[in-house]
Chains A and B, each alone.
Chain A
Amino acid sequence: MNPWKLGALVMAGVLVTVPAFAQFDLTGKWASRSGQDAMERGPGPDPVDYLGLPLNDEGRARALSYDYSLMSLPEGQCGYHTPFYIVLGPFGLHMWNEFDPVTGRLVAWKIGAWVDKDIQTIWMDGRPHPSPNAPRTYGGFTTGRWEGDTLITTTTHMKSTTIRRNGAPVSDHATMTMYMVRHGDLLTIRAVMDDPVYFSEPLVRSRVWALDPRGNLNLGNGVASPCEPIAELPRLDIAGLVPHHLPGQNPFVNELTQMYNIPVEAVLGGAETLYPEYRKKLTGYVPPAMCKRYCGCGGLGVPCIEDGSGVPR
């Protein structure tokens, strides 16, 4: 072949594939490195625990009506969590990309599914978001763009679901933004959930993963898992039964106060409780003498001490 042509072809091929600006590579298996929120990620939050959530009055009222038995209904068993669960859940990330085979341009990044989170496609090809009348999905519709070395994604069209596994709600009017930054083999995602229906300000949380060359993601292997609902409890077979707590009748409202001495006003969440000055309202707080449950032992830490109470600590 003519060497001129060959050289030109090679240059053209490389120039097409080299990004126009310095983006980072997201592909691979990213293992969770979460040194925060072990309780929420692991055993799950307590029934009325809205600590750290900027719920407004509507969100709080909706959350207090939630009955865990909703998940036992056949129609409640196979849903997914919101995409925000990416910073709430315990699992790793499997990420890959899709290229246009003709132009070589990146079309999308994909974040693999978990057993309880839908696959997420981050469209990088400039396509617009769908109409407000288009369907909602659990995974939503996500577009992405680079700003310097940060990948910023915007997700809309998410279904109405829960922001926390105890029923604190997020509506189908919410928008989620993620800011993804890589430092060496660490990936940090700051996620912002903006819900004008249930939050008085956006909910912001961050999480870190580390690239894992062994690719062991421990259940969050990126492969979507099937789900078949079954009738779990005979009494929930009654057609049209919808478990919920009537206003003022949620039996778990004072549980966190009883266990941890935290005032119920803080337990019920709200934007005011997120800022340092709120500590002035907690002057009467005295911590419990000793940790009695989920103290970081067993799966969450060192071997547990059995003190004969039957409760590992």
Chain B
Amino acid sequence: MLQETLRRGRLVDEHDQAQPPASGYNKPHFNRIAAYPCPWKPTSVQASIAGAVGRGQIMNGISACRTAAAGSPSRQRDGVLAALLLAGGLCAGGGGALLARVPQQGSDDLDVVQVRSDFYMIAGAGGNVAVQVGPAGVILVDTGSAEMSDKVLAAVRRLTSRPIRYVINTSADTDHTGGNDKLSKAGQTILGNPGSSGVSEEVYTNGGAASVLAHENVLARMSGQQSLFPFAVLPTKTYSGRSYPMYLNGDGIQVLHMPAAHSDGDSVVFFRRADVIVSGDILDTTRFPVIDVAKGGSIQGEIDALNHLVDMTIPPFPLRWREDRTYVIPGHGFVSDYGDLVEYRNVVTIMRDRIQDMVVSGMTLQQVKVADPTKGFRKRYGSDTGEWTTEMFIEAVYTSLTSRR
């Protein structure tokens, strides 16, 4: 039922426009947070009330049954339900209100989860893809794997018809950068006249496509591996140093470098007004963190990055039953918050401590593996198969710790 709804209609603001408005962030106030399919059809009474309340009104209800969308006449929804019901006591759901939002399925393989009114996560494309939608267009953080880029693009199109204006990569991994080419080219540059920069407009504006920003180490890593990273997926813009700020779609966006964590080119992207942090593979709720020692990653850098994220993330205190909190979109896995981040930080630190203790006692890597320092956490975060196994994680941590000595 849900997929049918999503295929037929768009679960976004009905006042969405093909072109971004000329003047700033002043879209009509139908600030619906999310929609879920109601289990029953509204009566004519409800529909008429919905018509009176729905348009042109500020509806800050936590979720709403959709009103009839174009192209889906069989799917009438009751906007009154949200306004009357869920603005009241049901709001006291301690984050449960976010869960009351039914997931918005994209294509068959993708799972689109709405995080804020204008912020989404697309899962199933390789790495998670973060999507911010606003008057200027779409900002993507990561683009998934190459083979999923058509589906990612289709999912973005279902969210909005506005162009992709910017892509930010959190690392060089192929499951996060594979869609760079297709998705940036499907977009539209936000840059214009190169002025006296000395480069052609073609180069400056990425040929008119959306820019792809990453830390300079990402470009360095990707450049050296033509077979894995064709020229077309390379970042078109890099930053060095600690951070790169910008303001787009009415939101302050900080791209922060996390040195020597998962790799030496990690960025986390902090959308300050949306209060969403996209962490890349520094946070991965599906497995132990991938520590790519060969690409400059380290266990201490990973832990430092996690602690940095803990400092940046605001929990729902003191009113801990409310939904207000920072959300963190991990490189893989579910939309997380402060509590999930602390849990993951704790797990990774315990792993480091256990292996450190074994290193100090003089154990070899083989002895450490036999002793299995991941006991108690292996079933949840480990794996014996696939591209990142528990053994690989132990080895990475061991190497990372012993190479410091």
Bound state CA distance, A48 and B2, in angstroms?
46
A121 adjacent to B354 (CB under 8 Å): no
**Any B CB within 8 A of the CB of A187:** no
Bound state CA distance, A81 and B403, in angstroms?
40
Contact of B349 among A102, A159, A242 (CB under 8 A): A242
Shortest Cβ distance from residue A204 to the other chain B in the assembled complex, whole angstroms: 21
Shortest Cβ distance from residue A71 to the other chain B in the assembled complex, whole angstroms: 12
Contact of B334 among A98, A134, A171 (CB under 8 A): A134
Bound state CA distance, A224 and B92, in angstroms?
9
Q: Is the interface of A mostly helix, strand, loop or mixed?
A: loop
Contact with B along A126-147 (1 / 0, CB 8 A): 1110111111111111000000
A133 adjacent to B334 (CB under 8 Å): yes
Contact of A139 among B43, B96, B333 (CB under 8 A): B96
B333 adjacent to A133 (CB under 8 Å): yes
B100 adjacent to A127 (CB under 8 Å): yes
Bound state CA distance, A226 and B92, in angstroms?
13
Known contacts A121-B90, A133-B123, A134-B113; 5 further A-B pairs (Cβ under 8 A)? A75-B315, A75-B342, A123-B100, A159-B340, A239-B307
For A, the interface residue count at a CB cutoff of 8 angstroms equals 65
Shortest Cβ distance from residue B311 to the other chain A in the assembled complex, whole angstroms: 8
B99 adjacent to A157 (CB under 8 Å): yes
Bound state CA distance, A131 and B124, in angstroms?
12
**Any A CB within 8 A of the CB of B269:** no
B376 adjacent to A137 (CB under 8 Å): no
Q: Which residues of B contact A (CB under 8 A)?
A: 2, 36-40, 43, 45-46, 49, 78, 80-81, 84-85, 89-90, 92-96, 98-103, 111, 113, 121, 123, 128, 285, 303-304, 307, 310, 315, 317-321, 327, 333-340, 342-343, 345-346, 349-350, 353-354, 357, 373, 375-380
Bound state CA distance, A123 and B39, in angstroms?
12
Contact of A75 among B37, B121, B310, B334 (CB under 8 A): B310
B317 adjacent to A78 (CB under 8 Å): yes
Which positions 235-249 of chain A face chain B at CB distance < 8 Å?
239-240, 242, 244, 246-247
Bound state CA distance, A75 and B306, in angstroms?
13
**Any B CB within 8 A of the CB of A295:** no
Shortest Cβ distance from residue B53 to the other chain A in the assembled complex, whole angstroms: 12
Which positions 129-182 of chain A face chain B at CB distance < 8 Å?
130-141, 157, 159-160, 171-173
Bound state CA distance, A172 and B128, in angstroms?
19
Bound state CA distance, A260 and B382, in angstroms?
37
B335 adjacent to A134 (CB under 8 Å): yes
Interface centre among B95, B99, B102 (most CB of A within 10 A): B99
B319 adjacent to A240 (CB under 8 Å): no
Contacts of A103 in B (CB 8 A): 40, 43, 46
**Any B CB within 8 A of the CB of A34:** no
Q: List 17 A-B contacts (CB under 8 A).
A: A80-B320, A98-B85, A100-B85, A108-B90, A121-B96, A128-B102, A130-B101, A132-B111, A134-B98, A137-B94, A137-B98, A139-B94, A141-B100, A157-B99, A224-B321, A239-B307, A247-B354
Bound state CA distance, A198 and B38, in angstroms?
36
Nearest 4 pairs of A and B residues by beta carbon: A131-B103, A61-B376, A62-B376, A137-B95
Contact with B along A97-113 (1 / 0, CB 8 A): 01011110101101001
Contact of B353 among A100, A172, A244 (CB under 8 A): A244
A58-B379 in contact given A75-B342, A240-B349 (Cβ < 8 Å): yes
A136-B376 in contact given A108-B90, A127-B39, A130-B101 (Cβ < 8 Å): no
Contacts of B375 in A (CB 8 A): 57-58, 61, 247
Interface centre among B103, B303, B379 (most CB of A within 10 A): B379
Contacts of B321 in A (CB 8 A): 113, 118-119, 139, 224
Bound state CA distance, A135 and B379, in angstroms?
21
